[in-house]
Amino acid sequence: MHILKVLLALSLLSIPLFSQAAPLHGIDVTDLDRKVDPCTDFYEFANGAWRANNPIPATMPRWSKRWASGEATKGQLREILDQASQQKSAPKGSTEQIIGDYYGACMDEARINARGIDALKPWFAAIDGASDIAGLQRAIADMHDVSVTVLFSLSASTDRHKPTWVLADLSASGFALPDRDYYLKPDARFKEAREKYVEHIARMFVLAGWDQKSAAAAAHTVIAMETKFADASLDNVTLRDPNATDHNTTFPQLQAMVPHIDWVEYFNHLHLPTDVDMNVDEPKYMQEVERQLQQTPLADWKIYLKWHVLNSSAEALAAPLVEQNFAFFGKYLRGTPELKPRWKRCVESTDEYLGEALGKKYVEKYFPPEAKARAQEMVRNLLLATRDDILSRPWMSEETKERAMAKIATFSPKIGYPDKWKDYSRAAIQRRVFFEDYLAARRFVVEDDRGTIGKPVDRSRWGMTPPTSNAYYNPLWNEIVFPAGILQPPGFDNNAIDAVNYGSIGVVIGHEISHGFDDQGAKFDYLGRLRNWWTDSDLKQFQERGACVADQFEHYFIEPGIHHNGKLVLGESIADLGGAKIALMAFKKSLEGKPPPPDIDGFTPEQQFFIAWAQWRGDAIRIEEQRVMMLADPHPIGKFRVIGPLSNMPEFQQAFSCKPDSPMVRPADKRCEVW
Ligand SMILES: [Zn+2]
């Protein structure tokens, strides 16, 4: 293949990351807990002192330097929004008008509280007006228009067999607790969560104007219906398998699957042709939808739909509803004691629904072009390191390596912000009572997404907003995406030494690249097609190596009886392990041909790299949040994201001269290596 040759011809010379004119800061040694042996518990050693001095704030479920930086960004966004909301002369449809009026409406809590539950009345009236399933269906379609994804969700998705094309994807969306286990498992903690959930639903209905007795009865109706939907839906491990949700479906097949829905009318409502390409993620779930449409009395449906309007929009309603919503989902389920201040919730809401409008202003002010150029350079270094790493895998045949090289050659990075911004001028934001502007923004998001269905893929679109302190890999587009929000200190720091930058943002970049070769990403080829490109024996080797990682995480407990689900966190854990290794390789390469950088406080450059990595990845997380994560989050908790990959790496053992029987060194027969 030509691509392999082109890649091999690329220069192997190191590229200095930053100009070294000014003195640069290194790792912060005051964050270390030196009482702890790095070979015993590197998580505690690397930032135990920081955690002791920086307890999780009352409004947060987790905390680290990275989370602190993400929250600090919200302060910058607040300045932008305060300014925009005070500007009365911004032209209608301009970015300033849209974000300023949205934020201004959100901040006007007195007006929201005075409106009370009136905002919900038209929605409840429309649901009450339904006299049959056809009427219900019209109410459901209206709810879908504002992203109340009750029963199922229909959204745009890249065709996994033709990744240049966008199809309509129908996924399961019928319950509000974080995972199906909450509805189905007999354990005491789930039983308690169900009882608390029923109480919560009843309280919300009372706050929405119902009497105690009917609210309590309604709560039982809701959980009974949600339990049936939860039971029919796939678990989170199965949902990670793109083959398990791969069901291209024709319109007649959809009609046969759920005949109680008038799909012609539904598609007309969405302005979609009935011959549009479609995928149904979970046919078994859709069959349950059909069964419920046949069996559930109309009165129960009405309760269920009202609950989902109420639950889905609670954050935009009067204070008592906001507080009750937080009391259950924030405080009880995730252990966070306090609601965030209103300004921060309004900043988050603007980012969520008008993200590129706000993001455009944010990058103008806070993301200099040099940052983009430097990040691009770093991504290039990491891709070169990945190529070297894969080519050196002894277990992989030349044939599969060649195909992996093709995949690396088509990797496309996106850095900072979109080249083409969304046009928000038609978002009907007018600084009304917030609920109306909130629904208008949600309507914009839905229409923006739906408008792409049945058309060629527009690869300029982004799946995260520019201020987001996160990153992602999209296997269908084979792209890695790093928003401006993550490309700032402490992750990416113009004034820091290479060890710090490679140890933090470098491992993030390496992590996202490695997702292209994790248990999920490896199923997609260089064009983003869901297609096997591995020889049988290489695939077997790869799966065995993955099984080693899955088994490792199965043994990580957060409290007696509760441990990680190895298969759920497998993709993230392969990416963490691969990311650390690739970033270290790229860091070492960056040192070639230069005088060795100085030790800091006795720590060698390699030790500094590992410390930077642990300080970036090592979140403190509330135990309640950890329990939710064990079930619903494919990411391991911060502690195991540090201990897990590093205890597999001989490079770590060597860097800290750990004895072979140290807790941070997995025995040779248990050591996992994928990439
Ligand atoms: Zn990841």
Question: 4-49, pLDDT tens digit by residue?
Answer: 333 333 333 334 444 445 678 899 999 999 999 999 999 999 999 9
Alpha carbons 352 and 197: distance in angstroms, whole number:
26
Distance 628 CA to ligand 1 centre (A): 18
- Confidence at residue 22, expressed as pLDDT on a 0 to 100 scale: 62
Pairing verdict, β 620-621 and 562-563: unpaired
Distance 472 CA to ligand 1 centre (A): 6
Distance 579 CA to ligand 1 centre (A): 10
Q: How far is CA 329 from the centre of its chain?
A: 18
Distance 372 CA to ligand 1 centre (A): 21
pLDDT greater than 80 at residue 85:
yes
pLDDT, mean of residues 235-263:
97
* Window from 109-118, 185-194, 489-498 with minimum mean pLDDT: 489-498
Distance 122 CA to ligand 1 centre (A): 41
Distance 635 CA to ligand 1 centre (A): 7
Taking residue 329's Cβ as centre, other Cβ atoms within 10 Å add up to 20
Question: 436-471, pLDDT tens digit by residue?
Answer: 999 999 999 999 999 999 999 999 999 999 999 999
Distance 245 CA to ligand 1 centre (A): 20
Alpha carbons 640 and 554: distance in angstroms, whole number:
11
CA atoms within 13 A on the CB side of 208: 28
- Confidence at residue 24, expressed as pLDDT on a 0 to 100 scale: 84
Q: Kindly give, in sequence order, each residue whose CB lies less than 8 Å from that of residue 8, ignoring residues fewer than 6 positions away.
A: none
Distance 544 CA to ligand 1 centre (A): 21
Distance 426 CA to ligand 1 centre (A): 34
- Confidence at residue 88, expressed as pLDDT on a 0 to 100 scale: 84
pLDDT greater than 80 at residue 403:
yes
Q: What angle do CA 418, 424, 428 make, to 5 degrees?
A: 160
Cα–Cα nearest to 375, from 264, 221, 506, 248? 506
Cα–Cα nearest to 246, from 161, 133, 312, 332? 161
Alpha carbons 613 and 609: distance in angstroms, whole number:
6
- Confidence at residue 51, expressed as pLDDT on a 0 to 100 scale: 96
Count of positions (residues) in the chain? 675
Question: 265-320, pLDDT tens digit by residue?
Answer: 999 999 999 999 999 999 999 999 999 999 999 999 999 999 999 999 999 999 99
- Confidence at residue 487, expressed as pLDDT on a 0 to 100 scale: 94
Q: Do you find a cis peptide bond into 634, omega within 30 degrees of 0?
A: no
- Confidence at residue 452, expressed as pLDDT on a 0 to 100 scale: 98
pLDDT over 70 percentage in the chain: 97
Q: Kindly give, in sequence order, each residue whose CB lies less than 8 Å from that of residue 17, ignoring residues fewer than 6 positions away.
A: 374, 377, 378, 381, 498, 501, 502, 590
Distance 358 CA to ligand 1 centre (A): 25
Q: Kindly give, in sequence order, each residue whose CB lies less than 8 Å from that of residue 354, ignoring residues fewer than 6 positions away.
A: 98, 99, 102, 424, 427, 429, 441, 444
Distance 162 CA to ligand 1 centre (A): 24
H or E, element range at 565: none
Question: 548-567, pLDDT tens digit by residue?
Answer: 999 999 999 999 999 999 99
- Its pTM stands at 0.94
Distance 65 CA to ligand 1 centre (A): 18
- Confidence at residue 16, expressed as pLDDT on a 0 to 100 scale: 42
Site of tokens 């429309």: 126
Distance 233 CA to ligand 1 centre (A): 24
Q: What's the burial of 331, exposed, middle or buried (CB within 10 Å: 0-12/13-18/19+)? A: middle
In which band, very low, low, confident or very high, does the pLDDT at 2 lie, cut at 50, 70 and 90? very low
- Confidence at residue 216, expressed as pLDDT on a 0 to 100 scale: 98
Q: 285-288: list long-range contacts, CB under 8 Å, 24+ apart.
A: 285/152, 285/172, 285/174, 285/229, 285/232, 285/233, 285/234, 286/152, 286/170, 286/172, 286/257, 286/258, 287/232, 287/257, 287/258, 288/228, 288/229, 288/231, 288/232
Distance 439 CA to ligand 1 centre (A): 31
Distance 570 CA to ligand 1 centre (A): 10
pLDDT over 90 percentage in the chain: 92
Main-chain phi, psi angles of 153, to 5 degrees: -120, 135
Main-chain phi, psi angles of 17, to 5 degrees: -70, -50
Distance 575 CA to ligand 1 centre (A): 6
Q: What's the burial of 352, exposed, middle or buried (CB within 10 Å: 0-12/13-18/19+)? A: middle
Question: 125-138, pLDDT tens digit by residue?
Answer: 999 999 999 999 99
Question: 148-195, pLDDT tens digit by residue?
Answer: 999 999 999 999 999 999 999 999 998 999 999 999 999 999 999 999
Distance 508 CA to ligand 1 centre (A): 8
Distance 284 CA to ligand 1 centre (A): 29
Task: For the chain, give the mean pLDDT.
Answer: 94
Distance 125 CA to ligand 1 centre (A): 43
Are 279 and 530 contacting, i.e. CB atoms less than 8 angstroms apart? Answer: no
Distance 388 CA to ligand 1 centre (A): 21
**β-bridge mates for residue 415, sequence order:** 482
Distance 572 CA to ligand 1 centre (A): 5
Distance 592 CA to ligand 1 centre (A): 29
Distance 515 CA to ligand 1 centre (A): 7
Distance 507 CA to ligand 1 centre (A): 11
Distance 161 CA to ligand 1 centre (A): 23
Distance 43 CA to ligand 1 centre (A): 19
Site of tokens 């006299």: 131
Taking residue 105's Cβ as centre, other Cβ atoms within 10 Å add up to 25
- Confidence at residue 191, expressed as pLDDT on a 0 to 100 scale: 97
Distance 395 CA to ligand 1 centre (A): 24
Distance 520 CA to ligand 1 centre (A): 11
Distance 574 CA to ligand 1 centre (A): 9
Distance 94 CA to ligand 1 centre (A): 35
Distance 220 CA to ligand 1 centre (A): 37
- Confidence at residue 372, expressed as pLDDT on a 0 to 100 scale: 86
Distance 512 CA to ligand 1 centre (A): 6
- Sort residue 247 into left (φ over 0), alpha (ψ -120 to 50) or beta: beta
Distance 283 CA to ligand 1 centre (A): 28
